[in-house]
Amino acid sequence: MPATRLDGKKIAAEIRSEVAADVESFVAAGNAPPQLAAILVGDDPASQVYVRNKERACEKAGIASRLDRLPASTTQAELLAKVAELNADPAASGILVQLPLPSPEAGGTGIDERAVLDAIDPIKDVDAFSPVNVGLLMQGRPRFLPCTPHGIVQLLSRTNISTSGKHVVVVGRSDIVGKPMAMMLAQKDSTCGPETANATVTLAHSRTQDLAEVCRSADILIAAVGRPEMIRGEMIREGAVVIDVGINRVDDRLVGDVAFAEAENVASAITPVPGGVGPLTIAMLLHNTLMAAKMQAAGN
Protein backbone atom coordinates (compact mmCIF):
# COMPACT_ATOMS: atom_id res chain seq x y z
CA MET A 1 0.00 0.00 0.00
CA PRO A 2 1.59 3.30 -0.99
CA ALA A 3 2.16 5.88 1.72
CA THR A 4 -0.46 8.44 2.64
CA ARG A 5 0.43 11.78 1.09
CA LEU A 6 0.58 14.51 3.68
CA ASP A 7 -1.16 17.41 2.02
CA GLY A 8 0.82 20.46 3.05
CA LYS A 9 -1.05 22.67 0.66
CA LYS A 10 -4.38 21.89 2.29
CA ILE A 11 -3.03 22.34 5.82
CA ALA A 12 -1.37 25.59 4.82
CA ALA A 13 -4.72 26.82 3.50
CA GLU A 14 -6.34 25.94 6.86
CA ILE A 15 -3.66 27.84 8.76
CA ARG A 16 -3.89 30.81 6.43
CA SER A 17 -7.62 31.07 6.94
CA GLU A 18 -7.15 30.80 10.71
CA VAL A 19 -4.60 33.61 10.54
CA ALA A 20 -6.97 35.65 8.36
CA ALA A 21 -9.77 35.27 10.92
CA ASP A 22 -7.39 36.19 13.71
CA VAL A 23 -6.15 39.26 11.80
CA GLU A 24 -9.76 40.32 11.33
CA SER A 25 -10.46 40.23 15.07
CA PHE A 26 -7.17 42.01 15.76
CA VAL A 27 -8.11 44.82 13.41
CA ALA A 28 -11.72 44.88 14.64
CA ALA A 29 -10.32 45.49 18.13
CA GLY A 30 -8.93 48.78 16.87
CA ASN A 31 -5.42 47.82 15.86
CA ALA A 32 -3.72 48.75 12.61
CA PRO A 33 -3.39 45.74 10.31
CA PRO A 34 -0.13 43.79 10.73
CA GLN A 35 2.41 44.63 8.07
CA LEU A 36 5.17 42.48 6.60
CA ALA A 37 8.02 44.65 5.34
CA ALA A 38 10.24 42.86 2.85
CA ILE A 39 13.53 44.08 1.45
CA LEU A 40 14.61 42.73 -1.92
CA VAL A 41 18.12 43.55 -3.10
CA GLY A 42 18.86 43.00 -6.78
CA ASP A 43 16.72 41.16 -9.30
CA ASP A 44 17.24 37.45 -8.81
CA PRO A 45 14.25 35.86 -10.61
CA ALA A 46 13.59 33.18 -7.93
CA SER A 47 13.66 35.81 -5.17
CA GLN A 48 11.21 37.96 -7.13
CA VAL A 49 8.81 35.00 -7.29
CA TYR A 50 9.16 34.28 -3.56
CA VAL A 51 8.57 37.89 -2.63
CA ARG A 52 5.53 38.11 -4.89
CA ASN A 53 4.09 34.92 -3.36
CA LYS A 54 4.56 36.33 0.11
CA GLU A 55 2.86 39.59 -0.88
CA ARG A 56 -0.13 37.70 -2.29
CA ALA A 57 -0.39 35.47 0.77
CA CYS A 58 -0.32 38.54 3.02
CA GLU A 59 -3.04 40.20 1.03
CA LYS A 60 -5.35 37.17 1.31
CA ALA A 61 -4.83 37.09 5.06
CA GLY A 62 -5.54 40.80 5.54
CA ILE A 63 -1.90 41.52 6.30
CA ALA A 64 -0.45 44.64 4.72
CA SER A 65 2.79 44.25 2.88
CA ARG A 66 5.51 46.65 1.97
CA LEU A 67 8.30 45.92 -0.43
CA ASP A 68 11.49 47.93 -0.58
CA ARG A 69 13.37 47.13 -3.77
CA LEU A 70 17.01 48.08 -3.68
CA PRO A 71 19.46 47.80 -6.57
CA ALA A 72 22.10 45.06 -6.58
CA SER A 73 24.68 47.82 -6.12
CA THR A 74 23.33 48.60 -2.62
CA THR A 75 26.12 48.79 -0.05
CA GLN A 76 26.01 47.20 3.38
CA ALA A 77 25.69 50.63 5.00
CA GLU A 78 22.71 51.46 2.80
CA LEU A 79 21.02 48.15 3.56
CA LEU A 80 21.65 48.57 7.29
CA ALA A 81 20.13 52.06 7.07
CA LYS A 82 17.02 50.56 5.44
CA VAL A 83 16.75 47.95 8.21
CA ALA A 84 17.11 50.69 10.82
CA GLU A 85 14.35 52.67 9.12
CA LEU A 86 12.00 49.69 9.28
CA ASN A 87 12.99 48.90 12.87
CA ALA A 88 11.91 52.42 13.79
CA ASP A 89 8.71 52.36 11.72
CA PRO A 90 5.77 51.40 13.93
CA ALA A 91 3.76 50.33 10.88
CA ALA A 92 6.24 47.53 10.06
CA SER A 93 5.32 44.55 12.25
CA GLY A 94 7.73 42.09 10.69
CA ILE A 95 10.89 42.58 8.66
CA LEU A 96 12.20 40.12 6.14
CA VAL A 97 15.37 40.46 4.11
CA GLN A 98 14.99 38.20 1.08
CA LEU A 99 17.98 35.88 0.79
CA PRO A 100 20.33 35.33 -0.86
CA LEU A 101 21.75 38.82 -1.23
CA PRO A 102 23.25 39.30 -4.70
CA SER A 103 26.66 37.75 -5.21
CA PRO A 104 29.47 39.89 -6.63
CA GLU A 105 28.86 38.09 -9.96
CA ALA A 106 25.27 39.39 -9.90
CA GLY A 107 26.44 42.94 -9.22
CA GLY A 108 26.36 42.61 -5.41
CA THR A 109 28.71 44.54 -3.15
CA GLY A 110 29.70 41.64 -0.88
CA ILE A 111 27.33 42.47 1.96
CA ASP A 112 27.78 40.44 5.16
CA GLU A 113 24.40 38.68 5.31
CA ARG A 114 24.71 37.87 9.00
CA ALA A 115 25.40 41.49 9.93
CA VAL A 116 22.22 42.54 8.16
CA LEU A 117 20.06 39.83 9.73
CA ASP A 118 21.55 40.63 13.15
CA ALA A 119 20.46 44.25 12.74
CA ILE A 120 16.75 43.39 12.57
CA ASP A 121 14.94 44.24 15.80
CA PRO A 122 14.32 40.82 17.44
CA ILE A 123 10.69 41.74 18.04
CA LYS A 124 10.23 42.16 14.27
CA ASP A 125 12.36 39.13 13.39
CA VAL A 126 9.58 37.03 11.84
CA ASP A 127 12.08 34.59 10.29
CA ALA A 128 13.47 33.90 13.79
CA PHE A 129 17.05 34.25 12.58
CA SER A 130 18.41 36.60 15.25
CA PRO A 131 20.63 35.03 17.92
CA VAL A 132 18.41 36.04 20.82
CA ASN A 133 15.39 34.42 19.17
CA VAL A 134 17.42 31.31 18.35
CA GLY A 135 18.60 31.13 21.96
CA LEU A 136 15.08 31.52 23.34
CA LEU A 137 13.98 28.69 21.06
CA MET A 138 16.80 26.42 22.25
CA GLN A 139 15.88 27.19 25.85
CA GLY A 140 12.31 26.11 25.18
CA ARG A 141 10.74 29.55 25.50
CA PRO A 142 10.46 30.72 21.89
CA ARG A 143 9.36 34.19 20.89
CA PHE A 144 9.01 33.31 17.19
CA LEU A 145 9.28 29.80 15.80
CA PRO A 146 11.26 29.59 12.56
CA CYS A 147 8.82 29.19 9.68
CA THR A 148 9.83 25.93 8.01
CA PRO A 149 10.35 23.84 11.18
CA HIS A 150 7.16 25.34 12.59
CA GLY A 151 5.32 24.37 9.41
CA ILE A 152 6.53 20.80 9.87
CA VAL A 153 5.35 20.76 13.48
CA GLN A 154 1.94 21.98 12.32
CA LEU A 155 1.83 19.35 9.59
CA LEU A 156 2.62 16.58 12.07
CA SER A 157 0.23 17.78 14.70
CA ARG A 158 -2.67 18.36 12.29
CA THR A 159 -2.28 14.88 10.80
CA ASN A 160 -2.11 13.33 14.29
CA ILE A 161 1.47 12.16 13.98
CA SER A 162 2.94 12.32 17.46
CA THR A 163 6.68 12.72 17.92
CA SER A 164 6.61 12.02 21.64
CA GLY A 165 9.01 9.20 22.49
CA LYS A 166 9.69 8.59 18.79
CA HIS A 167 13.07 8.56 17.13
CA VAL A 168 13.28 11.48 14.71
CA VAL A 169 16.26 11.72 12.39
CA VAL A 170 16.87 15.16 10.90
CA VAL A 171 19.24 15.08 7.93
CA GLY A 172 20.87 18.46 7.37
CA ARG A 173 22.19 20.93 9.93
CA SER A 174 21.29 24.32 8.48
CA ASP A 175 20.51 27.24 10.76
CA ILE A 176 17.17 27.70 9.01
CA VAL A 177 15.83 24.15 9.18
CA GLY A 178 17.96 21.32 10.56
CA LYS A 179 19.27 22.74 13.82
CA PRO A 180 16.07 24.47 15.00
CA MET A 181 13.97 21.47 13.89
CA ALA A 182 16.09 19.15 16.03
CA MET A 183 15.84 21.47 19.03
CA MET A 184 12.08 21.97 18.72
CA LEU A 185 11.25 18.28 18.59
CA ALA A 186 13.58 17.40 21.48
CA GLN A 187 12.02 19.93 23.87
CA LYS A 188 10.24 18.83 26.98
CA ASP A 189 7.29 20.90 25.92
CA SER A 190 6.68 23.02 22.90
CA THR A 191 4.39 25.89 22.17
CA CYS A 192 2.60 23.56 19.76
CA GLY A 193 1.76 21.02 22.43
CA PRO A 194 3.48 18.00 23.95
CA GLU A 195 2.58 15.78 21.01
CA THR A 196 5.18 17.50 18.87
CA ALA A 197 7.87 17.49 21.53
CA ASN A 198 9.72 14.83 23.52
CA ALA A 199 11.29 13.10 20.53
CA THR A 200 14.63 11.39 20.67
CA VAL A 201 16.34 13.41 17.96
CA THR A 202 19.36 12.56 15.85
CA LEU A 203 20.94 15.33 13.81
CA ALA A 204 22.71 13.81 10.81
CA HIS A 205 24.57 15.55 8.00
CA SER A 206 27.18 15.33 5.27
CA ARG A 207 29.80 13.94 7.65
CA THR A 208 27.58 11.22 9.08
CA GLN A 209 29.07 7.75 8.66
CA ASP A 210 26.66 5.19 7.25
CA LEU A 211 23.84 7.64 6.71
CA ALA A 212 21.61 4.86 5.36
CA GLU A 213 21.72 2.98 8.65
CA VAL A 214 21.08 6.14 10.68
CA CYS A 215 18.09 6.99 8.48
CA ARG A 216 16.70 3.48 8.80
CA SER A 217 16.58 3.90 12.58
CA ALA A 218 14.07 6.76 12.22
CA ASP A 219 10.38 6.55 13.05
CA ILE A 220 10.16 10.01 11.48
CA LEU A 221 12.73 11.06 8.89
CA ILE A 222 13.11 14.74 8.02
CA ALA A 223 15.27 15.46 5.00
CA ALA A 224 16.62 19.01 4.71
CA VAL A 225 19.85 18.76 2.78
CA GLY A 226 19.15 20.39 -0.56
CA ARG A 227 20.40 17.49 -2.65
CA PRO A 228 17.92 16.08 -5.16
CA GLU A 229 16.62 12.60 -4.29
CA MET A 230 19.56 11.70 -2.07
CA ILE A 231 17.32 9.81 0.39
CA ARG A 232 16.59 6.53 -1.36
CA GLY A 233 13.90 3.95 -0.60
CA GLU A 234 16.35 1.55 1.05
CA MET A 235 17.29 4.26 3.60
CA ILE A 236 13.75 4.31 4.98
CA ARG A 237 12.33 1.97 7.60
CA GLU A 238 9.10 0.21 6.64
CA GLY A 239 6.24 2.35 7.95
CA ALA A 240 8.27 5.46 8.75
CA VAL A 241 6.93 8.98 8.26
CA VAL A 242 9.00 10.94 5.73
CA ILE A 243 9.08 14.74 5.64
CA ASP A 244 10.84 16.18 2.61
CA VAL A 245 12.00 19.77 3.01
CA GLY A 246 14.04 19.87 -0.20
CA ILE A 247 12.95 21.94 -3.18
CA ASN A 248 15.49 21.33 -5.91
CA ARG A 249 15.11 22.35 -9.52
CA VAL A 250 16.29 19.53 -11.81
CA ASP A 251 15.91 20.24 -15.50
CA ASP A 252 12.47 21.72 -15.55
CA ARG A 253 10.82 20.08 -12.58
CA LEU A 254 10.97 20.42 -8.80
CA VAL A 255 12.22 17.44 -6.85
CA GLY A 256 12.72 16.94 -3.15
CA ASP A 257 15.61 15.50 -1.17
CA VAL A 258 13.77 12.17 -1.15
CA ALA A 259 13.38 9.78 -4.09
CA PHE A 260 9.60 9.96 -3.88
CA ALA A 261 8.62 6.98 -6.05
CA GLU A 262 10.85 4.63 -4.05
CA ALA A 263 9.98 6.15 -0.70
CA GLU A 264 6.23 5.99 -1.03
CA ASN A 265 6.41 2.21 -1.28
CA VAL A 266 8.13 1.96 2.10
CA ALA A 267 6.89 4.89 4.18
CA SER A 268 3.52 5.03 5.91
CA ALA A 269 3.17 8.75 5.18
CA ILE A 270 5.16 11.20 3.09
CA THR A 271 5.09 14.84 1.99
CA PRO A 272 5.11 15.44 -1.77
CA VAL A 273 7.30 18.05 -3.49
CA PRO A 274 5.83 20.44 -4.40
CA GLY A 275 2.76 20.77 -2.18
CA GLY A 276 4.27 19.43 1.04
CA VAL A 277 6.38 21.53 3.38
CA GLY A 278 6.77 24.49 1.00
CA PRO A 279 3.32 26.05 1.38
CA LEU A 280 3.53 25.75 5.17
CA THR A 281 6.60 28.00 5.34
CA ILE A 282 4.66 30.98 4.00
CA ALA A 283 1.66 30.18 6.22
CA MET A 284 3.86 30.28 9.31
CA LEU A 285 5.42 33.54 8.15
CA LEU A 286 1.94 35.08 8.16
CA HIS A 287 1.36 33.61 11.61
CA ASN A 288 4.60 35.19 12.87
CA THR A 289 3.76 38.56 11.34
CA LEU A 290 0.46 38.59 13.20
CA MET A 291 2.22 37.50 16.40
CA ALA A 292 4.74 40.30 15.98
CA ALA A 293 1.94 42.84 15.54
CA LYS A 294 0.22 41.53 18.68
CA MET A 295 3.41 41.70 20.73
CA GLN A 296 4.10 45.23 19.54
CA ALA A 297 0.51 46.28 20.26
CA ALA A 298 0.90 44.87 23.78
CA GLY A 299 4.11 46.87 24.17
CA ASN A 300 6.37 43.83 24.58
Report the nearest approach of a copy of itself to the CB of residue 116 (Å).
14
Residues annotated as part of the active site: 54, 98, 127
Concatenated DSSP letters of 223-289: E-S--TT-B-GGGS-TT-EEEE---EEETTEEE-SB-HHHHTTT-SEE--SSSSSHHHHHHHHHHHH
Give the interface segment with a copy of itself, choosing from 48-56, 199-207, 221-229, 234-242 (CB under 8 A): 199-207
Q: Using CA atoms, how far apart are residues 152 and 190, in angstroms rounded to an integer? A: 13
Q: Using CA atoms, how far apart are residues 294 and 179, in angstroms rounded to an integer? A: 27
Q: Which is nearer to a copy of itself, 60 or 166 (CB)?
A: 166
Q: Using CA atoms, how far apart are residues 211 and 217, in angstroms rounded to an integer? A: 10
Residue of 60, 69, 166, 232 interacting with a copy of itself (CB under 8 A)? 166
Q: Which is nearer to a copy of itself, 140 or 228 (CB)?
A: 140
Residue 290 touches a copy of itself, criterion: CB under 8 A = no
Which residues ranging from 32 to 91 are in contact with a copy of itself (CB under 8 A)?
Answer: none
Cβ neighbours, 10 Å, residue 21: 12
Q: Which is nearer to a copy of itself, 71 or 194 (CB)?
A: 194
Q: Which is nearer to a copy of itself, 95 or 134 (CB)?
A: 134
Concatenated DSSP letters of 7-43: -HHHHHHHHHHHHHHHHHHHHHTTPPPPEEEEEEES-
| Binding track over 105-134 against a copy of itself, x by CB under 8 A | ---------x---------------xxxxx
Residue 173 is labelled as binding a ligand? yes
Residue 100 touches a copy of itself, criterion: CB under 8 A = no
Q: Which residues contact 122 (CB under 8 A, 6 or more apart)?
A: 130, 132, 133, 143
Residue of 187, 268, 271, 281 interacting with a copy of itself (CB under 8 A)? 187
Residue 231 touches a copy of itself, criterion: CB under 8 A = no
Binding annotation for NADP(+): 172-174, 247
Binding annotation: 172-174, 247
